[in-house]
């Protein structure tokens, strides 16, 4: 039934003259928007959703105890949305989990409140699903104020746990114009089935925010589920998200969560083989943080990992029990270096990528 529906949408979009049954039922899509003081951006996001050509959806607005009343304003304007008000700021992960648990759809979209969606965004995501089946999907992200500039054409994982957006800051010249497998789908807009999210035990609330999408898709890959980029599904996003931006707290979360993913996702055997390289990378990261006045955040991140060692070990056991794909196969897709977006104002006096490339190639030989 779903396949018939998707074909019908494709035919309508591309003017193919084929007769299909008309009594095709559309699957319900639950669109989850997590809000924390998004202001006018939230209203603009929801307004764009209502312009979607795909019509069978529910909007679940989860508010993480905002104090700007943006969620109240939106509920008054868009009365059909389901508003859930958390009593405290649960972070990105658990905040979205609240929405996922309340969702009724067969499919779920996690969407940031500072985005604007193209009318065909959902239809195109379904076309990707029709082609590849179970997986985690993301659209192409373009910059809101300059729609010719790419925000993401899929996200990549470096072998030591760093994540980055492919082609961020580049001019969009359709250089990535086919549906393809990527290392992980961006949490800015993430489409999958509710069953997959349930099987993966949702987002990991320990992470709070950042690398949550990397973590989710890495765990999915361990179970044989790929992530995909769908170029004809378009979502517009600011050059830098409104939440945290380049704050000290963001750098703390990025580093702590990177280490958390390494120690919960790689097998103990892999960690032992990688250990000398991981130590060298850790020293290089410390220098990088030091040059940017963030050494205290690096120290905090490391201490937090040590403090939560028992929790991390327990999580490791849970994840490894569900593993179906070994590390050797997974890291074939991982990258050797990190590509920072154009215009990033970060100081780097450490030959970071040459170090990463050398150690990554060495680790690939060891595993």
Q: Taking Cα atoms as reference points, which of 147, 143, 59, 45 lies closest to residue 99?
A: 59
Long-range contacts of 81-88 (CB under 8 A, 24+ apart): 81/46, 82/58, 84/60, 86/62, 88/64
Kindly state the tokens that stand for 180: 């393809």
Please state, in angstroms and rounded to a whole number, the distance separating the CA atoms of residues 79 and 364: 54
The predicted structure's pLDDT at residue 9:
46
- DSSP state, residue 171: B
Please state, in angstroms and rounded to a whole number, the distance separating the CA atoms of residues 338 and 353: 7
Please state, in angstroms and rounded to a whole number, the distance separating the CA atoms of residues 234 and 243: 21
The predicted structure's pLDDT at residue 16:
31
Q: In the chain, what's the furthest Cα-to-Cα distance? A: 64
The predicted structure's pLDDT at residue 247:
84
Residue 157 in contact with residue 335, Cβ under 8 Å?
yes
For CA atoms 224, 230, 235, 241, the dihedral sign is positive
Q: What is the pLDDT of residues 202-253, one digit of tens each?
A: 999 999 999 999 999 999 999 999 999 999 999 999 976 555 456 899 999 9
Residue 280 in contact with residue 355, Cβ under 8 Å?
yes
For CA atoms 38, 172, 337, 327, the dihedral sign is positive
10 Å CB burial of residue 85 (0-12, 13-18, 19+) is: middle
Kindly list the distances between the CA atom of residue 119 and the CA atoms of 49, 61, 164, in Å, as whole numbers in the listed order: 7, 20, 27
The predicted structure's pLDDT at residue 4:
45
The pTM for the full model equals 0.91
The predicted structure's pLDDT at residue 15:
35
Instruction: Name the H helices within 182-294.
Output: 194-199, 212-222, 248-265, 268-291
The predicted structure's pLDDT at residue 352:
86
The predicted structure's pLDDT at residue 350:
60
Residue 107 in contact with residue 125, Cβ under 8 Å?
no
In this structure, what are the phi and psi dihedrals at residue 82, rounded to the nearest 5 degrees?
-95, 110
Please state, in angstroms and rounded to a whole number, the distance separating the CA atoms of residues 2 and 24: 8
Kindly state the tokens that stand for 64: 């993480």
Kindly state the tokens that stand for 170: 């580049």
The predicted structure's pLDDT at residue 20:
32
Residue ranges in the chain modelled with pLDDT below 70: 1-24, 240-246, 342-350
């Amino acid at each position: 039934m779903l396949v018939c529906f998707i074909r019908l949408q494709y035919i309508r979009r591309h003017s193919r003259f084929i007769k299909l049954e008309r009594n095709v039922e559309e699957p319900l899509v639950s669109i989850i928007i997590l809000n924390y003081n998004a202001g006018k951006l939230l209203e603009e996001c929801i307004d764009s959703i209502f312009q979607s050509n795909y019509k069978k959806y529910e909007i679940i607005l989860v508010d993480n105890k905002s104090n700007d009343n943006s969620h109240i304003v939106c509920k008054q304007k868009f009365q059909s949305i389901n508003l859930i008000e958390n009593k405290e700021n649960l972070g990105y992960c658990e905040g979205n989990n609240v929405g996922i648990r309340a969702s009724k759809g067969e499919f779920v979209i996690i969407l940031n409140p500072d985005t604007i969606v193209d009318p065909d965004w959902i239809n195109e995501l379904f076309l990707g699903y029709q082609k590849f089946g179970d997986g985690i999907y993301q659209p192409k992200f373009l910059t809101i104020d300059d729609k010719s500039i790419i925000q993401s054409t899929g996200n990549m994982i470096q072998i030591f746990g760093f994540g980055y957006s492919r082609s961020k800051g580049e001019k969009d010249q359709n250089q990535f114009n086919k549906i393809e497998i990527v290392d992980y789908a961006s949490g800015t807009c993430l489409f999958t089935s509710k069953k997959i999210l349930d099987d993966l035990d949702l987002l990991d609330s320990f992470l709070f925010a950042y690398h949550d999408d990397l973590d989710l898709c890495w765990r999915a890959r361990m179970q044989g589920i790929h992530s995909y980029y769908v170029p004809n599904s378009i979502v517009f996003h600011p050059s830098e998200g409104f939440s945290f931006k380049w704050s000290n707290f963001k750098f703390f979360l990025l580093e702590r969560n990177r280490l958390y993913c390494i120690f919960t996702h790689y097998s103990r055997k892999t960690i032992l083989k990688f250990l000398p390289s991981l130590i060298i990378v850790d020293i290089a990261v410390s220098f990088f943080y030091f040059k940017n006045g963030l050494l205290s955040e690096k120290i905090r991140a490391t201490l937090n990992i040590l403090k939560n060692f028992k929790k991390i070990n327990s999580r490791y056991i849970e994840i490894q029990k569900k593993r179906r794909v070994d590390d050797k196969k997974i890291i074939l897709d991982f990258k050797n270096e990190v590509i920072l977006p154009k215009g990033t104002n970060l100081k780097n006096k450490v030959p970071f990528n040459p170090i990463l490339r050398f150690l990554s190639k060495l680790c690939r030989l060891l595993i």
